[in-house]
Amino acid sequence: MFSLRRYRKILEEYNVFERCAKCGTCTYVYGSWAPACPAFNEFKFLTYSLGGKLLLAWGYLNGRLKLDQDIARVFYSCTLCGNCAYQCQITETDGTRPIKLYAITLLEAMRKELVRVGLGPMPEQKRVWDWILKEHNPYMAKHEDRSLWFPKDVVKGLPEKAEIVYFVGCTSAYIETEIIDATMRILNRLKVDYTILKDEWCCGLPLIRTGAPSQLVDEVVNHNIAAIEDAGADMIVTSCPGCYRVWKEDLADRHDFKVMHTVELVAEAIERGELTFKKPLKAKVTYHDPCDLGRHCGVFEPPRKILKSIPGVELIEMERSRENSWCCGAGGAVAFWLPEFTMNTACERIREAEETGASLLVSACPGCAMTLKNAIKEKGSRIMFRDITELILEHL
């Protein structure tokens, strides 16, 4: 993670601030003009758009603006989904798109700066920090209960050391527990050499995305790295895109582990002919791209390959899919302090899923599962939701 002062050199080198034309394209899907920015869609004020936040950052860095609580609220009212930066069409003569490349890192650096000057994070997020350091999860649950929902018949057969560590993640461990069972049984079907950590802690995502000081992040990260090394593993598999992005991108210079999402592992097995689906599913299905897995890490094809490999599935894309996918509303740790914003954003996604005529909404993220299922209940929607790991296991 860059501090704002260190990152300023990159911003100036690529003229990120000057390149922003304040045109508002970052708030819409380029070409179709469907909403792209959850914060702008919710608060209806350009300050909450990427262009607005770039102007605030420029004003602060050039001494024309003092940070205060109102500005802090703007930067923390962002899901960090990255859709705004993707929609920006500003292009250099060499073909690079500087705002697309650097804007999201700037937003995270601004949060880190707000923490440094005592204006961040929001109080509800600070409570999450404290709990992660105390009980190693953001959900106010006890650490001793982390493995409560692990399938005991599978766990008892796992070795202490293995080539692969299945990194469960907090949301699967405490809330979307079906994903643990499905993932572990899929790994068994694939006959891979894997284990789980005896003492897994939060990957650190809520700390990283809200600008926590490095020493707090290091405490959880160093623990997990040491635990994986003790397990003798050289590869991490996870069903959580948040954990996946942390391990694959945020911590890339801290370890040498190969990192894969479960959908990548399964798609490769299908490609090699090692996994086939025997049970058909005659249904219209639409897929929601998690921001961390899709837009941020570029994993779009594996989940679609899996769904298309299930006999009887008719995959129908939503209007906003792949790079243009609408956020579920939980990213950037906003769900911890703006639950209504998260719900409104998730309900918008359910509306879009319903418009496809699909009976089943599928994603590959426990966080998306949590918010989208809550939105289905809130709207009284008839569409069903399944995590892709559950669907894989059910149709083998």
244: Cα separation from own chain's centroid: 8
Residue predicted with more confidence, 275 or 91: 275
CATH number at 277-394: 3.40.50.1860
**Domain range annotation of the chain:** 4-116, 143-268, 277-394
How large is the average pLDDT for residues 128-139? 98
Q: How many CB atoms lie within 10 A of CB 140?
A: 11
**Whether pLDDT at 333 is above 70:** yes
CATH number at 143-268: 3.40.50
- Band (285; pLDDT cuts 50, 70, 90): very high
Summarised one tens digit per residue, pLDDT across range 231-258 is: 999 999 999 999 999 999 999 999 999 9
- Band (392; pLDDT cuts 50, 70, 90): very high
3-state secondary structure the chain: CCCHHHHHHHHHHCCHHHHCCCCCHHHECCCCCCECCHHHHHHCCHHHCHHHHHHHHHHHHCCCCCCCHHHHHHHHCCCCCCHHHHHCCCCCCCCCCHHHHHHHHHHHHHHHHHHHCCCCCCHHHHHHHHHHHHHCCCCCCCHHHCCCCCCHHHHCCCCCCCCEEECCCHHHHHCCCHHHHHHHHHHHHCCCCEECCCCCCCCCHHHHHCCCCHHHHHHHHHHHHHHHHHCCCCEEEECCHHHHHHHHHHCCCCCCCEEEEHHHHHHHHHHCCCCCCCCCCCEEEEECCCCCCCCCCCCCHHHHHHHHHCCCEEECCCCCCHHHCCCCCCHHHHHHCCHHHHHHHHHHHHHHHHHCCCCEEEECCHHHHHHHHHHHHHHCCCCEEEEHHHHHHHCC
**Whether pLDDT at 95 is above 80:** no
- Band (1; pLDDT cuts 50, 70, 90): low
Give the closest residue to 79 by CA, choosing from 335, 348, 359, 343. 335
Residues in the chain: 396
**Whether pLDDT at 98 is above 90:** no
Mean pLDDT of the chain: 94
**Whether pLDDT at 369 is above 70:** yes
Query: What local confidence, expressed as pLDDT, does residue 14 receive?
Result: 65
Summarised one tens digit per residue, pLDDT across range 9-49 is: 766 766 777 778 788 899 999 988 899 999 999 999 999 99
CATH number at 4-116: 1.10.1060
Residues near 93 by beta carbon (within 8 Å), at least 6 away in sequence: none
Give the closest residue to 182 by CA, choosing from 149, 217, 157, 222. 149
Give the closest residue to 321 by CA, choosing from 333, 310, 307. 307
Task: Give CA–CA dist 48/73, Å, rounded.
Answer: 10
Domains 143-268 and 277-394 share a fold: yes
Task: Give CA–CA dist 24/205, Å, rounded.
Answer: 29
Q: List the beta bridge partners of residue 49.
A: none
Residue 356 in tokens: 């496809």
Summarised one tens digit per residue, pLDDT across range 187-211 is: 999 999 999 999 999 999 999 999 9
Give the closest residue to 326 by CA, choosing from 283, 363, 374, 297. 363
**Residue 240 contacts residue 246 (beta carbons within 8 Å):** no
- Band (2; pLDDT cuts 50, 70, 90): low
